[in-house]
Structure 1
Amino acid sequence: MTGPVEPLAPAAARARGVSHRAALSLLASLFFMWGFITVINNTLLPHLRSVFDLTYTQATLIESVWFIAYFVASLPSARLIERVGYQRALVIGLAVMALGALGMIPAARLPSYTVTLVSLFVIASGITLLQVAANPYVAVIGSPETASSRLNLVQAFNSFGTTLAPLFGGYLILGRSASGTAAADAVLSPAERLADAQSVQLPYLIVAAVLVLLAIVIARFRLPALGQATRRASREERARHSLWSHRNLVLGIPAIFIYLIAEIGVSNLFINFVSQPHIGDLTHAQASHYLFLLWGGMMVGRFAGSVLMRTIAAEKVLALFAVGAFVAMVATVLASGKLAMWSLIAVGLFHSIMFPTIFTLGIRGLGPLTEEGAGLLVMAIAGGALVVVQGWLADRYGLQMSFLLTAACELYVLFYALWGARPSTGAA
């Protein structure tokens, strides 16, 4: 995908290295912010379910709208980057996110379920632009040999953001609302619903201010330019290859799609599940602290998985984690009390490596088609939108039984690890 890079003089190489490190530090803040904002939804959903008296289907539709943005905005984002460049695209993405965050303020004051959906869609569209711009940029600034190391580093900051977000949302949203501090499924008065709706204004005002500040910093920062070596392979060269001859990509796209159903279903229904009297018997505010452990497990698992993959093939580690996730989900469905709660928390550890490992295995061996393959895998993140299916199952068969869908998703990941991730023989 990249050509040879001309050697740099020692002084120039040192200057380039310092520039790259500074750029990576700044870009790590982007990964942190979009992880942080995405997981605020996990505390927002049970809050909005109480405010608007939503069914599980309506509540999970909020998250579906969020992930539909990945499908809708991915290709327009790529075209925008081609037109304005990576740095301006990052600034625009942050500005769009800030606009959506500010939209949550009138949504809370009205309050309006529809305006809430629109505002969250706008935020997610901005995050999609950041995803499409920042991931390849991090991969190409610096030595190709250390690209994986750089991506893992910034992804760790993403996990750090997802780990802290439940504490932020639990304190400023659930901890300051009647629905968050009351017993599970408590009935609120109209006055309490209005007060609860308006409690999200301060958190999203803070988020918008941070995003605007970050956009100003990036606009004024001199990011390293991408040279000739980072340009796409020629159209003629790509035409000699076929994406669909690569089994690891063809089966990896649904693997990403299906995995996102599992991850988003667990995280977004977590607070409602562990708050139930026969599971954890917690308030929503208390449950948000356990959500912190779910996402913290994902951060720990990524570090552990990266160590294991130094000596064990990635697909074998993925298979091991898929088995662990399946066992944890079966225990969640069949058990009760603290065992069911802790088994659901444990699945965060097993989910940790799934997205980056499936992504890496999916683009393995694509050569000049790597960019196109990676784009299809990013679009597959839209699988998170189908969390609404689990919401429907929860309404029809009960919240605990709905996690059988998650268990089924883990089985497809296991299939992909054992067979689907193998590159096709003779693929070109």
Structure 2
Amino acid sequence: MASLTNKQYRFAFILITSLFFLWGFAHNLDPILIPHLKRSFTLTTTQSTLIDTAVYMAYFIMAIPAGFVMKKYGYKTGIIMGLLTFAVGSFLFIPAANTQQYTFFLIALFIIACGLATLETAANPYASALGDAETATQRLNLSQSFNGLATALAPTIGAMIILTEGYSDDELNAMTATAKKLALASEASTVKMPYFILGSVLVVVAIAFAFTKLPDIRTKENSASKGNILRAFRHSNLSWGVAAQFFYVGAQTCVLSLFILYATEAAGIAELSAAYYLSACGFAFLAGRFLSTLVFMRFMKPHHLLTLYSAMCVLLCIVALICQGMVTIYAIIGISFFMSIMFPTIFSLGIANLGADREFGSSLIIMSIVGGAIIPRLFGYVADATGNIQYGYIVTLICFLVVMLFGIKGYKTTNNKIIKSPTVN
């Protein structure tokens, strides 16, 4: 079993990091889709959150099967499978737009998310394992920084292509019911081109992975130490990590996916302007990732930084909840900055010292992303019941409190002994 050179490690790390950008781009088109399809199909806020439900339910369903694939056939096989599934879902946006069925869009998004769940189950532990265990959190945060780059770019690109000016409300109100339906159907069809391009890129990337030799990072186990999905919960940091990731992803989805709906009501700005401010959230997220990874984590332990950032998010949620005007937009941009390290830091701390349970632990934390399906629904119910979308930030505030508890005590491992990075082939 040959060991890898530093050059081979770097190439593998770069290739894996490219995946973080791809799924980040797909995720951050969702905030553009929500107001777009809400308008096209005349949905309530709660109905529009079915987009997030379709996406994040796929994570819950696919994470464990993806973990089994990785454990049996290797991470490379899982990555290729995830990329091709992702591509199929993207191509399905074309018939979905042609048939003008909201359910068809949800099915396409569900299939995309099945691919994303497979990729995330593979790429997060892969990036974490390609190097020393002591720097695993910083390494994963660096890879996730390119997810942040996608968070910054996708809303602007999506807005320019999908959120076209279209018809004004006055023009739509002046139309007959049939003409209005046709006009809105025409607007909905703008999703076809960006998703066709995305699907084509994914096929090319899958081919590149198929012809590239990657190291095998599966844990070498003996018969007495084989992991299993239930035994993985014996690690207290994993149990806490699953809970923290559930609430974090739910909070992040509320903040970003519902941003345009929130901004148009709380600050009174147009959808297109809100989309550009959403890109500002993305750049704040990106800045937070790079600054935190390359600078702040040199001086603060990851769990301390996580505690500080989640506390700041709690304070900014209060601003988003009770204030009016542009200050609410600036508060959300601030939340985006402080959310930046949460997913990779929770993930890395949650799977620390799992040994033979690492693949299953990774699957369980990816399953907890289902919080993105459940928490926004609660946000939507609060917004619809009160008639004020700002009150939904009560839900996100509670979520960040849970993350803060993980940073204070939940990160502690059952076994404080550092386990060395797995041998790679």
Matches within 5 A, 1:333-348: 333-348=321-336
Q: What CA deviation, in whole Å up to 9, does each residue of 1:16-59 have, x standing for no partner?
A: 33333333333222211111011101111110000000111110
Give identity over the alignment, percent: 33
1:117 to partner: Cα distance: 0.5
CA–CA distance in structure 1, aligned partners of residues 318 and 24 of structure 2: 28
CA–CA distance in structure 2, aligned partners of residues 90 and 239 of structure 1: 22
Letter in 1 for 2:276: H
1:243 to partner: Cα distance: 4.1
1:216 aligns with 2:204: no
Q: TM-score, normalised by structure 2?
A: 0.88
| Residue 411 of structure 1, aligned match among 395, 401, 416 | 401
Q: What CA deviation, in whole Å up to 9, does each residue of 1:222-259 have, x standing for no partner?
A: 223327xx434334125799544433222221111011
Q: What runs of 5+ residues in structure 2 fail to find an aligned partner?
A: 419-425
1:304 aligns with 2:291: yes
1:164 to partner: Cα distance: 0.6
- Name the CA shift for 1:131/1:47 in 2 (closer, same or farther; >3 Å): same
Q: What runs of 5+ residues in structure 1 fail to find an aligned partner?
A: none
CA–CA distance in structure 1, aligned partners of residues 91 and 52 of structure 2: 18
Q: What CA deviation, in whole Å up to 9, does each residue of 1:378-425 have, x standing for no partner?
A: 211111111212112111112111111101111112222223333458
Q: Secondary structure at the match of 1:237?
A: coil
- Name the CA shift for 1:134/1:354 in 2 (closer, same or farther; >3 Å): closer
- Name the CA shift for 1:18/1:418 in 2 (closer, same or farther; >3 Å): closer
1:204 aligns with 2:185: no
CA–CA distance in structure 2, aligned partners of residues 314 and 145 of structure 1: 11
Aligned length: 409
1:81 to partner: Cα distance: 3.2
Q: Report the counterpart of residue 128 of structure 1 in structure 2.
A: 117
- Name the CA shift for 1:107/1:131 in 2 (closer, same or farther; >3 Å): same
Q: What CA deviation, in whole Å up to 9, does each residue of 1:304-336 have, x standing for no partner?
A: 322222222322211211111011010011000
- Name the CA shift for 1:145/1:250 in 2 (closer, same or farther; >3 Å): closer
Q: Report the counterpart of residue 24 of structure 1 in structure 2.
A: 13
Matches within 5 A, 1:96-135: 96-135=85-124
Q: What CA deviation, in whole Å up to 9, does each residue of 1:144-172 have, x standing for no partner?
A: 56544543332111111121100111100
1:116 to partner: Cα distance: 0.4
Q: Contact 2:156–2:279 (CA<8 Å) still a contact in 1?
A: yes
Q: TM-score, normalised by structure 1?
A: 0.88
1:252 aligns with 2:241: yes
1:193 to partner: Cα distance: 0.4
Q: Secondary structure at the match of 1:282?
A: coil
Q: What CA deviation, in whole Å up to 9, does each residue of 1:159-186 have, x standing for no partner?
A: 1112110011110001x2426xx579x8
Q: Report the counterpart of residue 172 of structure 1 in structure 2.
A: 161
Q: Secondary structure at the match of 1:224?
A: coil
| Residue 294 of structure 1, aligned match among 272, 281, 289 | 281
1:219 to partner: Cα distance: 2.0
1:194 aligns with 2:185: yes
| Residue 378 of structure 2, aligned match among 361, 383, 389 | 389
- Name the CA shift for 1:43/1:80 in 2 (closer, same or farther; >3 Å): same
CA–CA distance in structure 2, aligned partners of residues 17 and 427 of structure 1: 26
Matches within 5 A, 1:354-373: 354-373=342-361
Letter in 2 for 1:154: S
Q: Secondary structure at the match of 2:59?
A: helix
1:298 to partner: Cα distance: 1.4
Q: Report the counterpart of residue 233 of structure 1 in structure 2.
A: 221
CA–CA distance in structure 2, aligned partners of residues 68 and 142 of structure 1: 32
Q: Which moved more, 1:188-197 or 1:121-130?
A: 188-197
Q: Which moved more, 1:370-379 or 1:334-343?
A: 370-379
Q: Report the counterpart of residue 137 of structure 1 in structure 2.
A: 126
1:138 to partner: Cα distance: 3.0
CA–CA distance in structure 1, aligned partners of residues 232 and 71 of structure 2: 22
Q: Report the counterpart of residue 321 of structure 1 in structure 2.
A: 309
- Name the CA shift for 1:24/1:414 in 2 (closer, same or farther; >3 Å): closer
- Name the CA shift for 1:22/1:238 in 2 (closer, same or farther; >3 Å): closer
CA–CA distance in structure 2, aligned partners of residues 143 and 424 of structure 1: 20
CA–CA distance in structure 2, aligned partners of residues 407 and 370 of structure 1: 30
